[in-house]
Structure 1
Amino acid sequence: MFIVFEGIDGTGKTTQAKLLAEHFQKLGRTVLLSREPTDGPWGTLLRNSAETGRLSPEEELETFLKDRRQHVAEKIAPALAEGSIVILDRYYFSTMAYQGIRGFDPQDIRERNEAFAPVPDLLLIMDLDVDSAIERIGARGDSTNEFEKRSSLTQCRETFLSLSGEPFAKVINTKNTPEQVTQDILEAIEQCKV
């Protein structure tokens, strides 16, 4: 099973992805928990650019594609082939959203990615209003970076929500308590016909 967590920053993706990995491990399942950008050379370049000055839009998109190709080839595809549960904190839907606001067509980004990257069995769109998300980002001691400005987050949230009509997508309201969010995620997995 291939499960992807998406949504703007501050929605609890990372926390819930870790909790879900622990849930499956307790059931005796083999789990690959990973994230994008990765910790590989391309992902590191992207993470550093968020703090030190962004790459040009074209360079940034190409670097995301290089990072994802390597991630799929070296980790995601082998884990799925072995029957592991793969849980990702961000995937190409984030590229659609965040590079979409830099002038690229989100649908074109999707097609370029789906040429080599497997479509998830379940896309969990972690949803929260932008003001609450910014408040949470501040509460965890972070300041918003270039990717996290109000107008950018609003546009990205709209892109994520535009995916809610996909048969493999489920919107999770993260305004609820963390415990309720976890329960909603487990229910979405139960309903996922894989």
Structure 2
Amino acid sequence: MKSLFIVLEGIDKAGKSTQAELLKNYFLAHQQQAVISSEPTDGPIGRLIREAMQSKIIAIKQKESFDEQMAYLFTADRHYHLFNDINGVYKLINKDHTHVVATRYYFSSLAYNCNTKKKFTFVATLNQEFPDPDVVFYIDIPLKIALSRLSNSSAKEIYETAKKLRKVRHNYENIFKTYEGKIFKVDGTESIEAIHKKILTYLQETFNFY
């Protein structure tokens, strides 16, 4: 069976990490190797991004320039994510025969770092050489649910505001209207179990999983 590169996308608190863990455990229970590999990574650039997102370091305060700076950083970290020789996505898939379940990929850069058509073109150009995943699961939740879940979170990040997430959700909708790869949209308001079942059903029907 071909090892897959699976991406979970959605605004903050959509449930990506929960579904990634369930999917990884499903593969392991069926004697298939699987790992969760998130963006930003734990590499040096990924750690820098996490600090910037938590406002521990702010190199540029102007919002538009900050988004542009983050787009550059995410592009560099994404290259590391895919191609590093230790736990890069393609090393895991091709050499270790391991399914990779990623929470976020280049779709997140397009959704979070673009406020205009010009910026969208800029970010899309930065990411144009990155390969599409085997499948994207877009977990969609209403903004009010995301904000409610964020209100219970102890650590807030710079993009976790109503204004930003409203724009991000709108961007996701536009991105996946024209995306030509395999994409499956999931209603994130359903139960955790129901969402997991729908993801498994899609994988089983599309990739002949058992």
User: Structure 1 residue 73 and structure 2 residue 63: aligned?
Assistant: no
> In the alignment, which of 141, 147, 153 is matched to residue 165 of structure 2?
153
Q: What is the Cα deviation at residue 66 of structure 1?
A: 1.0
> In the alignment, which of 183, 187, 190 is matched to residue 201 of structure 2?
187
Distance 1:136 1:193, change over 3 A: same
Deviations along 1:86-105, one digit per CA (max 9) or x if unpaired, are: 11011111011111138863
The whole-number CA distance in structure 2 between the counterparts of 1:57 and 1:26 is 40
User: Structure 1 residue 3 and structure 2 residue 6: aligned?
Assistant: yes
Question: Would the aligned equivalents of 1:121 and 1:192 in 2 still touch at CA under 8 Å?
Answer: no
Q: What is the Cα deviation at residue 136 of structure 1?
A: 1.2
Question: Would the aligned equivalents of 2:53 and 2:159 in 1 still touch at CA under 8 Å?
Answer: yes
Deviations along 1:53-105, one digit per CA (max 9) or x if unpaired, are: 54433322211111111111111111121332111011111011111138863
Q: What is the Cα deviation at residue 111 of structure 1?
A: 3.9
One-letter code aligned to 1:118: P
TM-score, normalization by structure 2: 0.83
Aligned runs of 1:4-153 on 2, under 5 Å? 4-52=7-55, 53-55=57-59, 56-74=66-84, 75-82=88-95, 83-101=97-115, 105-115=119-129, 117-139=130-152, 141-142=153-154, 144-153=156-165
Q: What is the Cα deviation at residue 106 of structure 1?
A: 2.6
Q: Which moved more, 1:142-151 or 1:181-190?
A: 142-151
Q: Which moved more, 1:21-30 or 1:77-86?
A: 77-86
Question: Would the aligned equivalents of 1:163 and 1:169 in 2 still touch at CA under 8 Å?
Answer: no
TM-score, normalization by structure 1: 0.90
Deviations along 1:153-193, one digit per CA (max 9) or x if unpaired, are: 11111121223343411111110111111111112212334
Q: What is the Cα deviation at residue 112 of structure 1?
A: 2.6
Unaligned runs of 5+ in 2: 60-65
The whole-number CA distance in structure 2 between the counterparts of 1:12 and 1:42 is 25
Question: Would the aligned equivalents of 1:13 and 1:126 in 2 still touch at CA under 8 Å?
Answer: yes
Question: Would the aligned equivalents of 2:67 and 2:114 in 1 still touch at CA under 8 Å?
Answer: no
Identity between Structure 1 and Structure 2 (%): 27
- Greater share of helix residues, 1 or 2? 1
Unaligned runs of 5+ in 1: none
One-letter code aligned to 2:92: A
The whole-number CA distance in structure 1 between the counterparts of 2:13 and 2:118 is 24
The whole-number CA distance in structure 2 between the counterparts of 1:111 and 1:79 is 26
One-letter code aligned to 2:13: G
The whole-number CA distance in structure 1 between the counterparts of 2:154 and 2:38 is 19
User: Structure 1 residue 177 and structure 2 residue 191: aligned?
Assistant: yes
The CA RMSD over aligned residues, in Å, is: 2.0
